[in-house]
Chains A and B, each alone.
Chain A
Amino acid sequence: MELNIKMLCDICGKNPATVHLTEIIDEQMNELHLCEDCARNKSAAMEQQFGLSDLLAGMADFEKPSSKEEEVVTVKCPSCGLTYADFKKIGRLGCGDCYNTFRKYLAPLLKRIHGSNQHIGKNPAKIKTSARVYKKKSGLPELKNQLQKAISEEAFEEAARLRDQIKELEAKQEKES
Chain B
Amino acid sequence: MQINDLINHTSEWLKGTGPNSDVVISSRIRLARNLNKFPFPHWASKPQLNAVLDKTSQAMEKVDALKSSTLFVLASLDSIDKQLLVERHLMSIEHTQKTEQKAVLINDEENISVMINEEDHLRIQLMQSGFNLFEAWEIINGIDDALAKLLDYAYLDDFGYLTACPTNTGTGMRGSVMLHLPALVMSRQIERVLAAIAKLSFTTRGLYGEGTQASGNFFQISNQVSLGHSENEIIENINGLIRQIIEQETQAREIMLAKSKEILEDRVGRSLGILKSARIITSQETIELLSMVRLGSDLGMIKDIDRRTINELFIITQPAHLQKLENVKLSSDQRDLKRAELIRKKLNLL
Contact = CB atoms under 8 A, between A and B. Distances in A.
Interface stretch (B105-113, B145-153, B270-278, B290-298): B145-153
Interface stretch (B67-75, B226-234, B338-346): B226-234
A56 B165 contact: yes
Contacts of B201: 115
B158 A118 contact: yes
Contacts of A100: 156
B202 to A, nearest CB: 12
Given A80-B43, A95-B38, A124-B148, A53 B165 contact: yes
A110 interface: yes
A122 B156 contact: no
A128 B227 CA distance: 22
A117 B39 CA distance: 22
Given A27-B255, A110-B159, A122 B231 contact: yes
A117 B162 contact: no
Contacts of B225: 113-115
A86 to B, nearest CB: 9
B108 to A, nearest CB: 26
B159 A119 contact: yes
Nearest to B162: A96
Give the contact-size bracket for chain B.
35 or more
B190 interface: yes
Nearest to B120: A92
Contact of A52 (B145, B160, B224, B236): B224
B314 interface: no
Contacts of B162: 93, 96, 99
A121 B167 contact: no
B230 A24 contact: no
A22 B186 contact: yes
B43 A113 contact: no
A2 B157 CA distance: 66
Contacts of A94: 39-40, 43
A24 B229 CA distance: 35
Contacts of A114: 169-170, 225-228
Nearest to A116: B228
A21 B227 contact: no
Interface of A: 21-25, 27, 29, 32, 42-43, 45-46, 49, 51-53, 56, 79-80, 82, 90-96, 99-100, 106, 109-110, 113-125, 127-128, 144-145, 148-149, 151-152
When A and B form their complex, which 8 residue pairs have the shortest distance between CB atoms, in order from nearest?
A116-B228, A96-B154, A119-B160, A114-B227, A121-B171, A124-B148, A24-B187, A94-B43
6 contacts: A95-B43, A96-B154, A116-B227, A117-B228, A119-B170, A145-B138
